[in-house]
Amino acid sequence: MPLDASFKEQLTSCVSGPVLFDEPLGRYTSMGVGGPADVLVFPQNRQELAHLLSLLRKSRVPFLALGNGTNLLVRDGGYRGVAVSLQGLKQLSWVPGAEGKVRVRAEAGVALAAIVRLCQRESLTGMELCAGIPGSVGGAVRMNAGAYGIEMKDVVAEIAVLNEHQELETLSRRDLSFEYRRLVLPDAAVIVSAEFVLSPGNREEIAAKIEEILSLRKRKHPLNLRNAGSIFKNPRSMPAGRLIEEAGLKGTRRGDAMVSELHGNFIVNLGHARTAEIMDLMEEVRIRVRDCRDVHLEAEVQIVGEDG
């Protein structure tokens, strides 16, 4: 995407955070792979974000909202457009709600780990499922993240989005349509913040539940190697990890991309993997599971950008 000096200057004037050109996105994803974005911009608050998105839409420049990059694969050719990091949107607070509940308000860039710490400190229960999930609020809500029988839809009270007209729009839970690993929103909508309804609880019990979940993750997930979390959605018939294991695919490699020997639904980066290798491995897994069990695996990880 050609960027003239005038447009670069406009981009830089939109935000107080960094504006980086030809920046490798692998530095900003948990898998550690991906080519460069034409531009990577770091707005520091929702006003800067609104100003930036207005410029991009007016100029008809493609953009990608980027959280913690934990459920994202960027192809080796990179992203032709502007990647917009939401990490600067970090306001987190809580207020008393109705019927003895508590409402936790978090901007899109708040790490889920920060909410877990807040809940443990303030004795709030309902978000223990987020323990050990490395993502941020915006991405977790957008993909309806979940674990151990609880999903974001179970605790979200409302969200605020910047719509295609650059208007800040508040959507209550009754206005939202959640599906498995997906919140139905227009592609142009960018989640700015979310509000969660939680309940007062016992601090020791909350701490014990968090520790139990963290312990389970350490035992079952390859946390010592770079990964993007669950690669495939779970079919109705059986967890994807079990299907992959039964197909004998654990340990299968393409270059430095490998199906984890600990959990079949994780692909790990052994050091110098490329996105093309990961995608080749994903396709082999799909074919083998289809041939063995007549089940089609659908990617859970988001894949963007151009081939190298």
pLDDT in tens, 5-30: 888 899 999 999 999 999 999 999 99
For residues 42 and 18, the answer to whether their CB atoms sit within 8 Å is yes
6 Cβ neighbours under 8 A, 6+ residues apart: none
Mark whether 99 and 214 lie in a shared domain: yes
Q: What is the mean pLDDT of the chain?
A: 94
For residues 227 and 267, the answer to whether their CB atoms sit within 8 Å is yes
Which pTM value belongs to this model?
A: 0.92
Mark whether 46 and 69 lie in a shared domain: yes
Q: What's the Rg (C-alpha) of the chain? A: 20
Count the domains in the chain: 3
Mark whether 175 and 189 lie in a shared domain: yes
Mark whether 265 and 158 lie in a shared domain: no
- DSSP letter for each residue of 67-117: SS-TTEEE-TT-EEEEEEE-TT---EEEEE-GGG-EEEEEETT-BHHHHHH
Mark whether 243 and 290 lie in a shared domain: yes
Q: Pull the structure tokens for residue 7.
A: 């447009």
125: domain range?
92-220
Distance CA 138, CA 87 (A): 10
Residues that are catalytic = 181, 230, 300
- pLDDT digit string, tens, across residues 157-215: 999 999 988 889 999 999 999 999 999 999 889 999 999 999 999 999 999 999 999 99
Characterise 216 by phi-psi region: left (phi > 0), alpha (psi -120 to 50), beta (else). Answer: alpha
Mark whether 177 and 136 lie in a shared domain: yes
* 10-residue averages of pLDDT along the chain (308 residues): 81 95 97 97 96 94 94 97 96 88 95 94 92 92 86 94 91 94 92 96 95 92 94 94 97 98 97 98 98 96 93
